[in-house]
Structures are given as C-alpha cells and as structure tokens.
C-alpha cells in the first residue's frame, strides 16, 4: 500500500470521527490502568458502568489491597473474567506499592511487568495518560487494519501494530488508534459493516467482496422473482 492510499484512509477517518477519543472514563493514570485491565473481552460501556462506583470506593493501590479478594470480585462481577481480573488488580497494586512508590510507571517497558498488563494496555496508558505516541491494537484496530489492507489477513496483533507504526506518521499514532477504534465500533462492525455507505469502500478488500456477494444474491432473487 502506497503512502497516498494510507493518507486517504487517515484523512477519511478524521472527517468521519474528528472527536475520536478514549471512551474509558478515568481521571488519572492509575484509574486508566485499572479500566483498561477490566476492558479485556468486555465493552467500554460495561466497564464505565462498573468503574463509576468502583472509582468512588477505591482511590489508591492501598485501597484495593485493603479488602478481601471476595469483596473486590463482587464489586466487579458484572465484568467478564471478574475473578481473574480481581486477582490481577490486587497483585498489580501490591507491585505498585512495593516497587513504584504507589505510582503507575511511565514507560512501556515497566508497565508490561505489571500483572494483567499486556502490550495493548501499556500502549493505551502511555499514550492517553502520559502523551507518548503509541498504537494499541484491540479487536477493532486489528479487524479494520486487515479489511483495509493496512495489514495482512494472517498478521499477528504485534505485526499489525508494527505495520501501522511504519505507515502512520508517529505524531498521529495515538489519534489514529482512536479513530480506527471509532471506525470499527460505529461503522465497520464485525458482523454488520456499513459497506454500502462506506467512503473507504474503494480500498476495502472485505467491503468489495461483501458488495459483490450482495449484488450476486440480489440478481439471483430478481431472476427467481421474474420466473414466478
């Protein structure tokens, strides 16, 4: 894919979602880390409902480790995999207290050492909390990148990230991450993408295939109806 096509994709997404942003509610790096950890295999909307009360009750790492694990589990039980996530949260908080003076580390290398924090979570935290350019590849970013040809169909999540970092200007990494998520969440959905009204249909491999299939199906239906 040439640079002109990449620019076309980025500019189109900017026109569609000029106000794209992180939709996880948080007030600081610590809350964002907890929210992203909770968001694995769960929607941002559900996480925000849970953290509305959670962040009122727990303000610091010490707060999370001061309650029995069963109590924390109950506080987040609406979240998928809540037992594992409660365990990760308490272990993470212990590590913050013992190794980082209770503060969330600012570097990607240190963040991924924390329990429950993978590469995606670390990228979200450094970019949104500390202003370090990064592209976090979640299911939306992976799906859209592959459909638009920004990455290969068989690329791993890490390979998708590396290809996006190479093709997108560094100063646009963070905002591009948000715009691709909005594009995937509200327009190019997994099961029902809006191909028929998509301004990027001309560069979308998946969209062209879907539209061709849809056209063939309609022609068959029309032919069948004409024979009745």
Q: Bigger pLDDT: 74 or 1? A: 74
Instruction: Provide the token pair at 73.
Output: 């589990």
Q: Which are the contacts of 36, defined by CB distance < 8 A and separation ≥ 6?
A: 24, 120, 121, 124, 125
Report whether pLDDT(73) > 70.
yes
d(CA 127, CA 63): 26
Known catalytic residue: 138? yes
Does 216 lie in the same domain as 159? no
Lowest pLDDT segment from 22-36, 148-162, 168-182, 213-227: 213-227
Does 207 lie in the same domain as 141? no
Report whether pLDDT(213) > 80.
no
**What mean pLDDT comes out for the span 126-144?**
96
Report whether pLDDT(7) > 60.
yes
The pLDDT, as a whole number, for residue 97 is 97
The pLDDT, as a whole number, for residue 216 is 52
Domain that holds residue 205: 195-226
Residue the block writes with tokens 């995999």? 81
Does 214 lie in the same domain as 184? no
Q: Which of 120, 163, 202, 227 is catalytic?
A: 120
The pLDDT, as a whole number, for residue 109 is 95
d(CA 221, CA 130): 55
Known catalytic residue: 202? no
Q: Bigger pLDDT: 228 or 81? A: 81
Phi first, then psi: what are they for 153, rounded to 5°?
-60, -35
Report whether pLDDT(224) > 60.
no
Q: Which of 44, 85, 138, 167 is catalytic?
A: 138
Does 205 lie in the same domain as 139? no
d(CA 119, CA 19): 25
The pLDDT, as a whole number, for residue 205 is 86
Does 130 lie in the same domain as 149? yes
The pLDDT, as a whole number, for residue 215 is 58
Overall number of domains in the chain? 2
Does 99 lie in the same domain as 71? yes
Q: Which residues of 155-171 are buried (b: 16+ CB within 10 A; e: fewer)?
A: bebeebbebbeebbeee
pLDDT bucket at 219, cuts 50 / 70 / 90: low
Mean pLDDT computed over every residue of the chain? 93
């Amino acid at each position: 894919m040439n640079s002109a096509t990449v620019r076309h994709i980025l500019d189109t997404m900017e026109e569609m979602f000029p106000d794209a942003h992180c939709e996880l509610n948080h007030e600081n790096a610590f809350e964002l880390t907890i929210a992203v950890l909770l968001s694995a295999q769960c929607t941002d909307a559900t996480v925000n409902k849970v953290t509305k009360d959670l962040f009122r009750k727990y303000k610091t790492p010490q707060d999370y480790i001061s309650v029995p694990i069963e109590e924390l589990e109950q506080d987040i039980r609406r979240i998928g995999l809540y037992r594992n996530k409660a365990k990760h949260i308490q272990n993470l908080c212990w590590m913050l207290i013992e190794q980082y003076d209770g503060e969330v580390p600012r570097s990607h290398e240190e963040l991924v050492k924390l329990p429950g924090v993978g590469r995606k979570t670390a990228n979200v935290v450094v970019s949104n909390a500390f202003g370090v350019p990064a592209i976090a590849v979640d299911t939306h970013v992976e799906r859209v990148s592959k459909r638009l040809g920004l990455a290969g169909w068989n690329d791993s999540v890490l390979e998708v990230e590396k290809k996006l970092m190479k093709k997108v200007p560094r100063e646009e990494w963070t905002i591009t991450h948000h715009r691709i998520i909005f594009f995937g969440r509200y327009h190019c959905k997994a099961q029902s993408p809006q191909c028929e009204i998509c301004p990027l249909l001309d560069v979308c491999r998946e969209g062209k295939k879907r539209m061709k299939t849809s056209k063939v199906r309609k022609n068959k239906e029309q032919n069948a109806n004409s024979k009745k």
